[in-house]
Amino acid sequence: MTDQHLADWQQRAQVFEKAINSVVVGLERPVRLITTAVFSRGHVMLEGDVGVGKTTLLRAVARGIGGAYERIEGTIDLMPNDLVYHTYINELGKPQVDPGPILKHGEHLATFFFNEVNRARPQVHSLLLRVMAEKSVTAFNREYYFPHLQVFADRNRVEKDETFEIPSAARDRFMLELRIETPQNSDLQKELMFNPKFYDVDHLIETIDAGILPYRELNGIGKAIQHQIQASGTLQNYALELWQATRDPKAFGISIDNVDMDRLILAGASARGAAMLMRAARVTAWLNNRNHVLPEDIRDIFHEAMAHRIFFNPTYELRRTHIAEQLSKKILQQIAAP
């Protein structure tokens, strides 16, 4: 793939971001991170309060990518089969089985949104893990493949009754975990309250040109970015130290107030997580019109790529959000950038 072709795609990425930012307010950083994940071909976990625009954001992303979009709501009675097929009594009064949300579009499924994933049972998480890892599922005595699939999930962080935290293996499959919050700027808040264009979400989504980033071509462009954006040996050593610090922060002189660093970490970021960090860093460099990775490209996405992969002692899990933020900051402060 030529440099000019990559440059053309960079222009498409800018058009895509501009289109998404025209239908959501004050979410420029999440939009940039989702764009990074799209070109890194990684799945994304979203976390935020109710009504902050997560669904609108993902509908806009799905339209900008093209292909089929499906959404499912996590509930305590949801079963794995509900993702694959659904049964009902048809108009002739006979039982009928139709493909479920994962199957019905076949290989055209490009964006799958699992809302409130932690309300679903572990059996459902197990199926979701396979779909994310292998982009395939077995049903009706055959294998179905989804080569263009990107999974987005939303975790309810407010309500704790009848919820099931997704297992570490599934969390590790998400390239990035993003916080989506209401804009703090009062002018943006007034825009959301009083501008009628935000009242009709369906019409708002239709203002985006469909298929700005043709979904069938994203795998190829993603591979080209990874091959053409370079990382020097010095940069690689820096990234390696950042990864090692997630596994044994005390060895790097890192401490956090009111935290016993000997007992904090059950498991640091995985090798998969370290590789995903670099995949996202290469795309970050590309989006910033560079052909090589700089330390700031890694630092920019370090927390979103690594924090959810660090598993704390249960004593500290209730304070995860605060401690994870502090740990990310301390690691970036302590490990000197080249």
| Structure-token pair, residue 237 | 């050593």
pLDDT at 184: 86
Return the minimum-mean-pLDDT range out of 1-5, 94-98, 159-163, 197-201. 159-163
Rounded CA separation 267/284 (Å): 27
- Per-residue pLDDT band for 88 (boundaries 50, 70, 90) equals confident
pTM over 0.85: yes
62-86 tens-digit pLDDT: 999 999 999 999 999 999 999 998 8
Name which of 311, 316, 309 is nearest 269 in CA terms: 309
- Per-residue pLDDT band for 14 (boundaries 50, 70, 90) equals very high
Rounded to 5 degrees, φ, ψ at 240 are -65, -45
Highest-confidence segment of 89-98, 288-297, 308-317: 288-297
Domain boundaries, the chain: 3-217, 229-334
114-146 tens-digit pLDDT: 999 988 999 999 999 999 999 999 888 899 999
Q: Are strands 43-47 and 174-179 parallel, antiparallel or unpaired?
A: parallel
17-60 tens-digit pLDDT: 999 999 999 999 999 999 999 999 999 999 887 778 889 999 99
Rounded CA separation 188/70 (Å): 29
Q: Which residue has the higher pLDDT, 167 or 160?
A: 167
Rounded to 5 degrees, φ, ψ at 47 are -140, 135
pLDDT at 96: 87
Angle of helix 271-287 relative to helix 3-21, nearest 10 degrees, comes to 90
Beta bridge partners, 143, equal 138
State the SS3 of the chain. CCHHHHHHHHHHHHHHHHHHHCCCCCCHHHHHHHHHHHHHCCEEEEECCCCCCHHHHHHHHHHHHCCEEEEEECCCCCCHHHHHEEEEECCCCCEEEEECCCCCCHHHEEEEEEECHHHCCHHHHHHHHHHHHHCEEEECCEEEECCCCEEEEEECCCCCCCCCCCCHHHHCCEEEEEECCCCCCHHHHHHHHHCHHHCCHHHHHHCCCCCCCCHHHHHHHHHHHHHHCECCHHHHHHHHHHHHHHHCHHHHCCCCCCCCHHHHEEECCCHHHHHHHHHHHHHHHHHCCCCECCHHHHHHHHHHHHHHHCEECHHHHCCHHHHHHHHHHHHHHHCCCC
Question: How large is the average pLDDT for residues 190-217?
Answer: 92
Please check whether the domain covering 3-217 is classified as CATH 3.40.50.720. Answer: no
Rounded CA separation 73/151 (Å): 14
Question: How large is the average pLDDT for residues 109-113?
Answer: 97
Fold of 229-334: Helicase, Ruva Protein; domain 3 (1.10.8)
